[in-house]
Amino acid sequence: MHALVSGSRPMLRVLDLSYSNLNNEGVHRLVHGDWPMLTELNVSNNSFAPTALGSLARANWSLLTTLNLSGNMLTASVLQSLSCADLPHLQTLDLSACGLDGTAMQCLAHAGWVQLKCLRLENNFDLDQQAAFGLTQANWPFLKDLNVF
């Protein structure tokens, strides 16, 4: 795993590291790797801290269209960082089973992902009216699939 996430893979388009016990150091190496053509990243169900996920916002993945973070505990501050990430082509975001609440949803709603078409939020049991209101504030004109419950 260490060699994969720390190496240069300039032609790699899809990277699935789900259920790989990726830790904080692995996320750090992933963020600082050379992935200029990466369009799909799946880091679902891993064992890193929410703060490590915040570093994903600093990655240079301008072609990323699909990001799966499901099954990882996220905080509002992580979503705040992620919402500021430069992901102009992001179309699918999976945040299922991430322990999200209304505050986190309000942070997410400020993201400038105008190409977003699919947002998965299933199994976040703390979503409430505040979360629903936060989602109504988002500017995602192409959103077609919103899975909340």
Express each pLDDT in 24-44 by its tens digit. Answer: 888 888 888 888 899 999 999
pTM, entire model: 0.91
Name the CATH superfamily, with its identifier, for domain 2-147. Ribonuclease Inhibitor (3.80.10.10)
**Every domain of the chain and the residues it spans:** 2-147
Can you point out the beta strands (E) in the chain? Answer: 14-16, 40-42, 66-68, 92-94, 118-120, 145-147
Better-predicted residue by pLDDT, 13 or 7: 13
Q: Does the structure show a pLDDT above 70 at 71?
A: yes
Q: How confident is the model at residue 66 (pLDDT cuts 50, 70, 90)?
A: very high
pLDDT, residue 149, reads 76
Q: Does the structure show a pLDDT above 60 at 87?
A: yes
pLDDT, residue 1, reads 52
Q: Does the structure show a pLDDT above 90 at 120?
A: yes
Residue listed under structure tokens 């269209």: 65
Q: How far apart are CA 143 and CA 108, in angstroms?
A: 14
The tokens for 80 are 């705040």
Nearest to 112 by CA among 83, 70, 142: 83
In percent, the amount of the chain with pLDDT more than 90 equals 40
Burial label, 12 (beta-carbon count in 10 A; 0-12, 13-18, 19+): middle
SS3 38: coil
Which residues, 6+ apart, have CB-to-CB distance to 106 below 8 Å?
A: 76, 130, 131, 133, 134, 137
